[in-house]
Amino acid sequence: MAVGCFSFTASRDWCYRFSFSNAGLKSTTTDLGDGTIMHCWVPKTHNHSKPSLLLIHGMGANAMWQWNEFISPLTHRFNVYVPDLLFFGDSYTTRPERTESFQAQCVMALMEAHGVRRMNVVGISYGGFVAYSMAAQFPENLVKVVLVCAGVCLEEKDMDEGMFKVKSVDEAASLLLPQTPEKMRQLVQFTFAKPIKVMPTCFLNDYIDVSGFSHEKALSLLDFSLW
């Protein structure tokens, strides 16, 4: 389905950009070399009297969609940095690496490029795996680490024993980054305490089209994270 003249998702994305900018952040793109580009929201002015806080998103279109509600209060207390992980939003690489270890290395290189060497980190879902890897690789750079809904201790036997409702990585990928309205509705049922009851198909198709994340990329990232 091609995106029509009006896109609910693109309009929402614009609202989030305005919200981030209004909270004192600016959009930046950093070339890390070797075909790796990372997008990040950073403070318009870094306040050296405040600690730095790195927010790492999970599966989704881009970081704004997951962190928007928290940005305004957090920027009052921290220098907030919100990157798009590779293959999300405006971040990408031509390199073949797909591990959360590589994601962590790129995020650390990004922060160093912005002059930040000590930081607090919050990672949600897949972002929690990346945050955990950062803590393992760069313990001297991290002050505190918060992992939200991230099964970093997950083992293959947990899947076999039925801990989760999905039975395979392929099924998880089809839910976490849905490619059809039906899968999107199923994801909402799994993840919302009070699921949205009415979700028009046209809105769901619009979100899938604008997010532009393929099942194949999701599968490759989850393969390395879960096994």
pLDDT digits over 109-144, tens only? Answer: 999 999 999 999 999 989 999 999 999 999 999 999
Which pLDDT belongs to residue 213? 58
The CA–CA distances, whole Å, from 206 to 5, 210, 226 equal 11, 6, 29
Amino acid of residue 206: D
Which position has the higher pLDDT, 146 or 12? 146
- Please indicate whether residue 37 or residue 184 has the higher confidence score (pLDDT): 37
Distance between CA atoms of residues 168 and 179, nearest Å: 17
pLDDT, mean over the chain: 86
Which range, of 12-16, 150-154, 212-216, averages the lowest pLDDT? 212-216
Judge if pTM exceeds 0.95.
no
Least confident among 6-10, 63-67, 209-213: 209-213
Torsion angle (degrees, nearest 10) of CA 29, 135, 217, 60: -70
Instruction: Copy the structure tokens of residue 178.
Output: 């849905």
Measured CA distances, 132 to 88, 90, 140, 153, 170 (Å): 19, 23, 13, 10, 23
The pLDDT score that the predictor gives to residue 188 is 83
pLDDT of amino acid 164: 65
